[in-house]
Structure 1
Amino acid sequence: MKFIAFNVRSDEEKYFKAWEAQNDLQVRCVSGPLTNDELDSVAGYDAVLALQTGTYPQDMFKKFKEYGVKVFSIRNVGVDNIDLKAAKENGVLVTNVPAYSPNAIAEFSVTQLMQLLRNITLFRNKVAAHDFRWAPYVGKELRTLTVGVIGTGRIGRAAINIYRGFGAKVIAYDLYPNPTLEKEGIYVDSYEELFKQADVITLHMPATPSDHHLIDKKAIAQMKDGVYIINTARGALIDTEALISGIKEGKIAGAALDTYENESPIFNNDLRNKELTDSLFKQLLELDNVLITPHVAFYTETAVENMVTIALNSAREACEKGTAETLVK
């Protein structure tokens, strides 16, 4: 049994090597992404592992079938960029890592909100300019706010526990409510109701066609004045142009974006000394009350090890048994 893994970073290599030694299986690691140019290299391998937020080759699963690849195992949760229909038609099993570290993302989202509430970017800029005055940037205490959590899966529930620890009031919305949380009465009946009540809106949900630009001009108009928006989920959930307008008009007090709807050409790329051509992204960078991070909410040692190990275990299980606990249906 042989595996090939793409987009393998230097921080992942030790976990691949450790697993390879423990399981006595060959794993070839490739630093680059899985592209059309790389498709021929998968011939002879039983499973392909990948991790990329952009698009995969259009005829990937057709080629997998031709080359004898049985399993496609991704080292992340989201499958919105994978043609699952094509995978099924070509007899290729797809696995993911449903939970590599919910706490990593939850903690990061709260950390970003705390920076917004205390105007950290503004004060950092002032201090760098040797301006040590306080006013007028008075902060807010999290315990005085209502936090609206959209998506109460593993990550959303971890975030809820943290927010409760700060003493904040938490409300939530999910198409598939968690039974325990439902008994606690924290759910509202609609997005609109959450928008109207929440001082903070934090997104912890997958991206689907029906949720594209969930946060748009209409949604922002329904929100409270001075709302904060946190997105560590998927960039497509937010209409960036509408978000920028809401911030410039003062409707939105601040936003923390760990993901961006057009992030693939930007995030995880070294663009130093290069001109950014995305005008919307450039506008976001110019706003002092917007925090942008390059899709790193998940990025902890614990999460990285889990992503690699679970993906490899899933690939082996699927190859051996024709199914896996993490099989994407």
Structure 2
Amino acid sequence: MKIAFFSTKPYDKVFFERENETYGFQFSFYETHLGPHIVNAIENEEVVCVFVNDKLNRQVIEVLAQKGIKLIALRCAGFNNVDLVAAKEFGIQVCRVPAYSPEAVAEHTMAMLLTLNRKTHKAYNRVREQNFSLNGLLGFNIHQKKIGVIGTGKIGKAFIRIALGFGAEIIAYDLYPDQNLINAGVQYTSLDQLFKDSDIISLHCPLTPDNHYLINKESLAKMKDGVTIINTSRGNLIHTNDAISALKEHKIGLLGIDVYEQEEKLFFKDLSSTIIEDDTIQLLMSFPNVLVTAHQAFFTTEALTQISQRTLKSIADILSTGTTDNEVTL
């Protein structure tokens, strides 16, 4: 079995080659993302393994089918970048990693919240310059704050457990409320009520056509002045220009994003010696109350181990039985 990996970095090779000792698959690694520009380079592979910024639209999937690809293996939880209708039409199966160390993303979410609130990144730089002043570093207690969690799947649950440990009050929105969370004191409510009542909002939902730009001018208008928003889910949940306007108007007090709607042009690359032409991200990063990390939330040893293990197991399962528990179907 030959597998073509796209959007690969050195750490992908390390973890997948380590786990491949069990399977003996043949790997080809491409640093570029999978899209129309590279799809014709595929030769003699039966599986493509892709990540969050690979673009598998109808055009790409049709070529994959012509090349003999039978399986698209996503080494991530989200699958909004795959045209599932086209995949089904051309007889290509799709699998993903629905859960991999949800604690990794949840802990990074809390790290972003704490960094923004207590300004530890600024304090670190000050002290290195022998500036021990506390002016401008004032934060607030998370204890007894009302945190609105949108999406209470595995990652949302992990974040809620952490936030409850801080003594926060949790309100949540999900299409499928979790009784165990209700028993733990989480109050499910409507989106509008969550927007209205939350001091802090954390996004942990997948991107769907229904929630595209969930955070926009209209929803922001319902929120408290000075609300804190953290997004470690998908960039297109937030309308970036509307968020910028809300920052200027002090509607958003703190904004932490580990994802960005145009991230495929930026993230996972070293652009330190280039001129970034994306004026929007440059403007975002100029705000003193905005923290941007480059899709880093998943990046722990435990998560990468589980991603490689579960991706290769799904491929092996499909080879042997024709299906896997992690298959994505319409």
TM-score tier after normalising by the smaller chain length: over 0.9
Q: CA deviation at 1:182?
A: 3.9
Bigger shift: residues 129-138 or 283-292: 129-138
TM-score computed with the length of structure 2 as normaliser: 0.93
Q: Tell me the amino acid that sits aligned with residue 282 of structure 2.
A: K
- Could you tell me whether the CA contact under 8 Å between 2:46 and 2:71 is conserved in 1? yes
Distance 1:185 1:286, change over 3 A: same
Separation (CA, whole Å) in 2 of partners of 1:104 and 1:178: 21
- Could you tell me whether the CA contact under 8 Å between 2:152 and 2:178 is conserved in 1? yes
Separation (CA, whole Å) in 1 of partners of 2:26 and 2:10: 18
Q: Tell me the amino acid that sits aligned with residue 66 of structure 1.
A: Q
Bigger shift: residues 273-282 or 158-167: 273-282
Bigger shift: residues 309-318 or 226-235: 309-318
Distance 1:160 1:72, change over 3 A: same
Q: CA deviation at 1:91?
A: 0.7
- Could you tell me whether the CA contact under 8 Å between 1:16 and 1:27 is conserved in 2? no
Deviations 1:198-241 (A, max 9, x none): 11000001111221111111211111122110000011111111
Unaligned 5+ residue runs, structure 2? none
Separation (CA, whole Å) in 2 of partners of 1:40 and 1:136: 54
Two-structure CA RMSD over aligned residues (Å): 1.9
Q: CA deviation at 1:117?
A: 1.6
Partner of 2:255: helix, strand, or coil? strand
Distance 1:262 1:40, change over 3 A: closer
Separation (CA, whole Å) in 2 of partners of 1:185 and 1:168: 11
TM-score computed with the length of structure 1 as normaliser: 0.93
User: Are 2:326 and 1:326 aligned?
Assistant: yes
Distance 1:131 1:248, change over 3 A: farther
Tell me the residue number matched to 1:74: 74
Q: CA deviation at 1:98?
A: 0.4
Greater relative contact order, per chain length (Cα 8 Å cut-off, separation 6+): 1
User: Are 2:16 and 1:16 aligned?
Assistant: yes
- Could you tell me whether the CA contact under 8 Å between 2:169 and 2:186 is conserved in 1? no
- Could you tell me whether the CA contact under 8 Å between 2:96 and 2:311 is conserved in 1? yes
Separation (CA, whole Å) in 2 of partners of 1:203 and 1:57: 26
Deviations 1:86-127 (A, max 9, x none): 000011100000011100000000011011221334434544
Partner of 2:261: helix, strand, or coil? coil
Bigger shift: residues 216-225 or 2-11: 2-11
Tell me the residue number matched to 1:64: 64
Partner of 1:268: helix, strand, or coil? coil
Deviations 1:168-214 (A, max 9, x none): 11110011222322455624331110011111000001111221111
Tell me the residue number matched to 1:116: 116
Identity rate of aligned residues, in percent? Answer: 36
- Could you tell me whether the CA contact under 8 Å between 1:80 and 1:208 is conserved in 2? yes
Deviations 1:133-191 (A, max 9, x none): 22354221111311110000000000000001111111100112223224556243311
1:1-329 correspondence runs (5 A): 1-56=1-56, 58-124=58-124, 126-127=126-127, 130-184=130-184, 186-329=186-329
Unaligned 5+ residue runs, structure 1? none
Q: Tell me the amino acid that sits aligned with residue 118 of structure 1.
A: R
